[in-house]
Amino acid sequence: MYCGLNRYMGLYEGASYASMLGVQSKLRIAGLIWNKISQPRHIFIVWLAVQGRLLTKDRLQRMNIPVDTITCSLCDAQAVETQYHLFSVCDWTKRLVTTMAQWTGVQIPSGDVKQVLNRIRRRHWKQLYKEIIAALWGSIVYYVWQARNWKLYRGTVQGHYCDYRYNNYTDQTKFLC
């Protein structure tokens, strides 16, 4: 079941929560990745992305795993699907980030997955607010990766949405994708 999920999500097969726990403390941004707000599945994808371990098409090709086409599945730019392209320059992702920014009133810093978290870390914000923004970024990363997998393996990204929840009790925002 776990391996099946890994295959479906295009995850690095050798990754595990245990191995993630073993090295998380070495990263300055670990506190933002492993925040109190994000869902575990979002944290897992962000953690793999920070380490460059998501099985993007360029990585599959480097591992000599055949891919039909090397280009990004989400946009029409005919750009090579790298992790940097998917999360930083892809028009599809940019539109999602813009929509989320308009929706929440929060401007997500630009950059790749790790750079964004480092930029959030360096902002003069309260820790809880940093964690909320990091959780928002984590939900975007997760949703982009999920949409990419749906487009690649099912031919559509329809049927998926981000369910916005606002928790009055803890005054925190959650995005359940």
Strand-pairing partners, residue 176, are 163
Structure tokens at 102: 């308009």
- Which of 129/153 has CB closer to Zn ion? 153
Q: Is 157 in the site for Zn ion (CB under 5 A)?
A: no
Among 9, 29, 54, 90, binds Zn ion (CB under 5 A): 90
- Which of 75/157 has CB closer to Zn ion? 75
Selected range binding Zn ion among 10-18, 72-80, 96-104, 155-163, rule: CB under 5 A:
72-80
Cβ burial of 55 (10 Å; 0-12, 13-18, 19+) is buried
- Which of 32/147 has CB closer to Zn ion? 147
Q: What is the DSSP string of 47-94?
A: HHHHTT-S--HHHHHHTT---S--B-SSSSS--B--HHIIIII-HHHH
Q: Dihedrals φ, ψ of 71, to 5°? A: -80, 160
Least gap, CB of 91 to Zn ion (angstroms): 6
Among 75, 100, 141, 147, binds Zn ion (CB under 5 A): 75
Q: Is 72 in the site for Zn ion (CB under 5 A)?
A: yes
What residues line the site for Zn ion (CB under 5 A)?
Answer: 72, 74-75, 90
